[in-house]
A and B are shown apart, each in its own frame.
Chain A
């Protein structure tokens, strides 16, 4: 009987003891008494290579918008989007309206003017002959009058004839000059109309690729409106934008890595050609032009999105920590130092960091110290910690 009772006591005590132990375990593993699992990282002296990340679009460096200089109707377009064209090639023509007729009229007028010049020249020749004859007659009568063979009256008549012939010649010369000027004027006008006729032809100013055909034959376009757009495909570059907050150090000549939206796995080498002198104040971005080291084949479409990573020169080694360890206590930036299983908040002054989240520390830490990089819950000065390799629910 006694044995049965004592066995019952033992079993009951064991059950109650187990319950008590489980309760204690639960109380210590949850709630404010439970230690916070943390992952620590060592402060290491290392060189950080900052990079800048931006996005941009593929653009052509030279884009020629070809259109008429005067309002008119498109008559012919002989190229389509995607066609390769040569410099000087006629790509299409605007409707010349009455230009051809005006040119024909001008040519006719020019012929008429040329005939007028010839008539004037003939008249000059005739009057010149008359004047020569009148001069010789007047000379002859001079000598005859000296010898008294002819009357003074006849001499005066010959002199008057000579003066009239001279004047007639002068007038004919002037007429011929005038006819020649008229001819010249008409010729210039004709050339002007011919040049105007040339401008209705849409001529490519450079060799390239037709990228847009903005109007079709029959469409009326205004002066300056583009009908065709031709780009130089060999001059593709990336118009990239970088957040101003993180764009310190961006400059021409820096190496860049370009990833086209359509070729996500492929990294193309590039180079910053220039940083634009004017930034976008609305989007708070710096603008830069980045060129491909080798143009990709096939060529990317103009307007395709590109991710641009610009590598800045590596910084000299300094104590470096993961950016995830940096916390803010009120207005102070700092890290939780893990020392002998306890934690202490240490204010730090941060330097530059890289795109992998490593940040250099200017002051507040020395290499070899352990900082809390990840924690399962927010830490306070009174938190107790348990160092683990990785926190449950998230990979290290």
Chain B
């Protein structure tokens, strides 16, 4: 049996293939938009995966440390560590800032981690090059997205750090790449004032008669206490296997008078509060793109059908059944959709890495996209089929 659709496609294959490719690029944009949305959500949860914690202990009445600033004393972790069900508790600081390096600066989230063995809370989960931080000061592990190279010297506030390791997909909820440095350096970077501020503060203190009294050492002690700050942003807690996070969180909340979030609550904060507006924005674009794609597919198929209306009239004249004509148009629409999807998927995969923010193309999204394209093509062909069936066979011989 001769495939009518196949014969027709073969007849004007160039038009068909190029139309399919054009459609494919549109589908590619739609798939990329879905990928951008997924990437946004993934960036938010990646932060949680990277911190490898079960609980986050932060300042009371804050949504810290990612959605709101949080400051707690750095010795709180000891009392948390003593609680039942807690196996690890590590201090951590987060600070989004410009990291200077030779010839420019990069916006990055500087994470201060306790230098510990591999897999400690807060440490990067895996490396793509180099090694972990082994010295207690002046070493950094950076995300490849920062563009830093191994051995490169970078400047964070007043200290120069050497990049000893590179990681991948260690990003903040905003998509800024992370730079991991030892906790004590990070505390200094975050909480210690700059030199000018320190000098001004020293002068102010020295001019204050309450502090500058003839008591040996008093002024020095006051200045030292003003310059020191023993704070961190959060404590990352890892629980013993089988311990319900809610119970331990309630214990910590009760005895340390601090706020504690579980992984589920943190995801809620990050996904629903932090990236919700951006995600909705992209979601709106996705819906509009889908509608536009559907309209364009319908328009293309309708135009293609109208283009061969005389041939259809001839077919009708020679007694071809309506079902055969409808099947031909449907098959062509589906074929167009298939080519479009394949081209779209290829295009989306190829251009995804070029995007400045992470584009996550999930196989599930691709499958859903394929189903949607097929349904849209089938629906779009309905109008064309209607037009084809209404053709008067007399048109084939008419002027």
Residues of A within 8 A of B (CB): 5, 8-9, 11-12, 15-16, 19-20, 22-23, 26-27, 29-32, 39, 53-55, 220-222, 224-226, 242-243, 245-246, 282-283, 307, 322-324, 326-328, 330-331, 333, 350, 353-357, 373-379, 390-391, 393-396
Contact A375 B137 (CB under 8 A): no
Name the contact of B350 in the complex, choosing from A26, A323, A328, A396 (C-beta under 8 A).
A26
Instruction: Say whether B10 faces chain A, with CB atoms less than 8 Å apart.
Output: yes
- Contact (A53, B134) CB under 8 Å given A327-B119, A391-B128, A395-B129: yes
Task: List 15 additional A-B contacts (Cβ < 8 Å) besides A11-B13, A395-B166.
Answer: A9-B10, A16-B339, A26-B350, A27-B345, A30-B349, A53-B136, A224-B216, A246-B115, A323-B131, A324-B130, A324-B165, A354-B134, A355-B135, A356-B134, A374-B128
CA distance in complex: A27, B17 (Å)? 21
CA distance in complex: A221, B130 (Å)? 58
Contact A53 B137 (CB under 8 A): yes
CB-CB under 8 A from B136, the residues of chain A are 53-55, 242-243, 246
- Contact (A225, B166) CB under 8 Å given A12-B13, A31-B363: no
User: In residues 97-147 of chain B, which contact A (Cβ within 8 Å)?
Assistant: 114-119, 125-132, 134-138, 144
Instruction: Say whether B399 faces chain A, with CB atoms less than 8 Å apart.
Output: no
CB-CB under 8 A from B342, the residues of chain A are 19-20, 22-23
Interface string of B271-293 (1 = CB under 8 A from A): 00000000000000000000000
Question: Interface on chain A toward B: helix, strand, loop, or mixed SS?
Answer: mixed
Instruction: Say whether B209 faces chain A, with CB atoms less than 8 Å apart.
Output: no
Q: Closest approach, in angstroms, between the C-beta of B216 and any C-beta of chain A?
A: 5
Question: Which are the 5 A-B pairs with shortest beta-carbon distances?
Answer: A328-B119, A357-B131, A394-B129, A326-B118, A394-B166
Residue of B nearest to A37 (CB): B128
Residue of B nearest to A357 (CB): B131
Residues of B within 8 A of A (CB): 9-10, 13, 17, 52, 75, 87, 114-119, 125-132, 134-138, 144, 149-150, 164-166, 168-169, 184, 214-216, 230, 241, 339, 342-343, 345-346, 349-350, 352, 361-363, 366
Contact B168 A377 (CB under 8 A): yes
CB-CB under 8 A from A282, the residues of chain B are 75, 230
CB-CB under 8 A from A246, the residues of chain B are 115, 136
Contact B150 A394 (CB under 8 A): yes
Q: Closest approach, in angstroms, between the C-beta of A288 and any C-beta of chain B?
A: 14
Name the contact of B9 in the complex, choosing from A12, A222, A355 (C-beta under 8 A).
A12
CB-CB under 8 A from B150, the residues of chain A are 394-395
CB-CB under 8 A from B117, the residues of chain A are 326, 333, 350
Name the contact of A377 in the complex, choosing from B165, B169, B184, B214 (C-beta under 8 A).
B169
Subset of 12 A-B contacts with CB under 8 Å: A55-B137, A283-B184, A353-B134, A355-B134, A356-B131, A357-B130, A375-B126, A376-B168, A393-B166, A394-B128, A395-B166, A396-B129
CA distance in complex: A356, B119 (Å)? 18
CB-CB under 8 A from A395, the residues of chain B are 129-130, 149-150, 166
CA distance in complex: A84, B136 (Å)? 38
CA distance in complex: A163, B372 (Å)? 147
Contact A225 B118 (CB under 8 A): no
Q: Closest approach, in angstroms, between the C-beta of A386 and any C-beta of chain B?
A: 14
CA distance in complex: A283, B91 (Å)? 13
Contact B241 A331 (CB under 8 A): yes
CB-CB under 8 A from A39, the residues of chain B are 129
Residue of B nearest to A29 (CB): B349
CB-CB under 8 A from A243, the residues of chain B are 115, 136
- Contact (A326, B119) CB under 8 Å given A26-B349, A374-B128, A393-B128: yes
Q: Closest approach, in angstroms, between the C-beta of A126 and any C-beta of chain B?
A: 61
CB-CB under 8 A from B114, the residues of chain A are 245
Q: Closest approach, in angstroms, between the C-beta of B72 and any C-beta of chain A?
A: 16
CB-CB under 8 A from B127, the residues of chain A are 324, 373-374
Residue of A nearest to B165 (CB): A324
CA distance in complex: A377, B42 (Å)? 14
CB-CB under 8 A from B169, the residues of chain A are 377
CA distance in complex: A213, B52 (Å)? 53
Contact A378 B125 (CB under 8 A): yes
Contact A12 B10 (CB under 8 A): yes
- Contact (A22, B118) CB under 8 Å given A221-B214, A375-B128, A394-B128: no
CB-CB under 8 A from A354, the residues of chain B are 134
CB-CB under 8 A from A379, the residues of chain B are 126
Name the contact of B126 in the complex, choosing from A29, A378, A390 (C-beta under 8 A).
A378
CA distance in complex: A391, B361 (Å)? 21
CA distance in complex: A119, B362 (Å)? 121
Query: Most chain-A CB neighbours within 10 Å: which of B118, B144, B149?
Result: B118
CB-CB under 8 A from A393, the residues of chain B are 128, 144, 166, 168
CA distance in complex: A29, B352 (Å)? 13
Contact A307 B138 (CB under 8 A): yes
CA distance in complex: A62, B215 (Å)? 23
CB-CB under 8 A from B134, the residues of chain A are 53, 323, 353-357
CB-CB under 8 A from A328, the residues of chain B are 52, 118-119
Contact B137 A307 (CB under 8 A): yes
Q: Closest approach, in angstroms, between the C-beta of A195 and any C-beta of chain B?
A: 24
- Contact (A327, B126) CB under 8 Å given A22-B346, A222-B214, A282-B230: yes
Contact A357 B132 (CB under 8 A): yes
Residue of A nearest to B75 (CB): A282
CA distance in complex: A13, B138 (Å)? 60
CB-CB under 8 A from B131, the residues of chain A are 322-324, 356-357
CB-CB under 8 A from B115, the residues of chain A are 243, 245-246
